[in-house]
Amino acid sequence: MDGGEHPYSHRVNAPATGPYRTFRRVGIFIIGGTVLLIGVALLVLPGPAFIVIPSGLAILAIEFAWAKRWLDKVKEWAKAAAETAKAKLKRTQ
């Protein structure tokens, strides 16, 4: 370790390669997909779907670009909904 370098810094930014990368992608897909499907089910069942769905997308966005794009859209929709709610709240006061 030279000059205060973190002891595991060589691992933090190392890209996943070979079978490890495949295992990681499958694991992220299974976990993120399961959380996302639970969130979709919670749209019709009682529960916090609007928390669980973005959580599932965030897990999937770790490895998949399409999930990152969806997560960005969900963030935009949430921000717009919050601004709309804030505007309506100001009008009623």
Q: Average pLDDT per run of 10 along the chain, which is 93 residues long? A: 53 66 91 95 92 93 91 92 87 76
Amino acid 28 reads I
Given this model, what pLDDT does residue 89 score?
83
**Which residue from 67, 41, 46 is spatially nearest to 55, judged by alpha carbons?**
67
Residue owning tokens 């006061």: 93
Q: Any idea where the domains of the chain sit in the sequence?
A: 9-92
Given this model, what pLDDT does residue 29 score?
95
The answer to whether 35 and 52 are in contact (CB under 8 A) is yes
Distinct helix (H) and strand (E) counts, the chain: 4, 0
Given this model, what pLDDT does residue 34 score?
97
Given this model, what pLDDT does residue 2 score?
54
pTM score over 0.75: no
Given this model, what pLDDT does residue 4 score?
58
